[in-house]
Amino acid sequence: MNKVYDLIILGAGPAGITASVYAARKKLAFLVITVDVGGQAALSGDIENYTGYQFITGPDLALKFQEHMDSFGIEVTMPEGAREIVKLGQLIKTVTDKAEYLSKSLIIATGKHPRQLNVEGEKEYKNKGVTYCATCDGPLFRGKKVVIIGGGNSALDATLQMMNISPEVHIVNIASQLTGDPVMIEKVKSSPAVKIWNNSEVEKIYGDTFVQGLQIKQHDKIFNLDVEGVFIEIGLIPNAEFASCLEQNKWGEIMVDCYNKTSVEGIFAAGDVTNVPEKQIIIACGEGSKACLTAFKYLSTHRFLEK
């Protein structure tokens, strides 16, 4: 832990990768610490709203991001997850599950992870029919009946992927109507393979060795859906549990201002882990660039004592 970096970037999703490219161009001595490369972008399906690409898949866009990062020879340690951050005078100590690091500044771009239903059978059948990623696991359910839990863009994205390969796709939505992008809703509703269950919630998931179905409640009536795949798409939780020293909102998102500054000097945050409105890939990229530019200005305007 003797080396002191100018900057450490936690996470290598759209925000973290963009921050790293800017840091490389600013010739900073920095390190990227991450559990993976691509983040939620790598788990997305078809992307039609990222400027410069009329159409690209999430994995392909994540690969483009990584190629851009690799072109600068950026130092990345992976897989490695943050466990704690501590402000030590002018420096910041980052504790991971493998080591400890010191830096003059820090950008947190750790994104989010899928929210769980917490119903009977969910844990028992995880990876046995229950999944949280249609992009990753969807092809495994080709020709099988499936259900998508949720009503926002994540659920709609999963539905659009599955309705092309599954004979029957159910959407179980706790709200009174779907709440995602209107274009996506229109595509989903136009498919004869899709049945939408609004005002419904999951009671339990059942099966034998693998999922055989789930029980839902709609208007006090119980229904059993015979499916072999359950895709849970009910939102994401910020990966910010290690950042308890920073101000967070009621959803656990790190609070930042328009310059990506957190409540602790020298620590910045960007992307889905923050309170920035709208969780979009292109927004995360912009936030990552802003965070790095602000960090660079911070480093340029502060005098650090030699250790």
Express each pLDDT in 138-161 by its tens digit: 888 999 999 999 999 989 999 999
Specify whether 100 is located in the same domain as 132: no
Q: Do residues 185 and 258 both lie within one domain? A: no
Burial of 111 (0-12, 13-18, 19+ CB in 10 A): buried
Domain count, the chain: 2
Q: pLDDT digits over 91-134, tens only?
A: 999 999 999 999 999 999 999 988 999 999 999 998 899 998 88
Q: Which of 209, 232, 255 is the last residue of a domain?
A: 232
Which one from 36, 60, 137, 181 is the annotated catalytic residue? Answer: 137
Residue 79 shares a structural domain with residue 149: no
**Of 205, 232, 259, which residue sits at a domain end?**
232
Residues contacting residue 58 through CB under 8 Å, at least 6 positions apart: 38, 41, 42, 43, 44, 45, 46, 47, 135
Q: What is the pLDDT of residue 246?
A: 97
Catalytic residue among 46, 70, 97, 136: 136
Note whether 128 and 226 are same-domain residues: yes
Report the alpha-carbon distance of residue 203 to residue 211 in Å, rounded: 14
Place of tokens 């009536």: 221
**pLDDT score recorded for residue 165:** 94
Where is 95: in which H helix or E strand?
strand 91-96
Together in a domain, 15 and 92: yes
Poorest-pLDDT segment among 45-54, 137-146, 170-179 = 45-54
Helix 182-189 to helix 153-162 angle (10° resolution) is: 40
CATH of the domain at 169: 3.50.50.60
* Domain membership of residue 202 as a residue range: 116-232
How far is Cα 44 from Cα 62, in angstroms, rounded to an integer? 10
What whole-number percentage of the chain has pLDDT above 70? 99
Give the per-residue pLDDT at 114: 86
Give phi and psi for 74, each to the nearest 5.
Answer: -70, 135
Give the 3-state secondary structure of residue 293.
Answer: helix
CB atoms within 10 A of CB 252: 15
Same domain (yes/no): 123, 175: yes
Decide if pLDDT at 202 tops 90. yes
User: Which of 6, 133, 272, 292 is the catalytic position?
Assistant: 133
258 assigned to active site: no
Q: The pTM is what?
A: 0.79
Pair (195, 264) in one structural domain: no
285 among known catalytic residues: no
Of 192, 208, 232, which marks where a domain is finished?
232
51: pLDDT strictly greater than 80: yes
Q: How far apart are CA 149 and CA 145, in angstroms?
A: 14
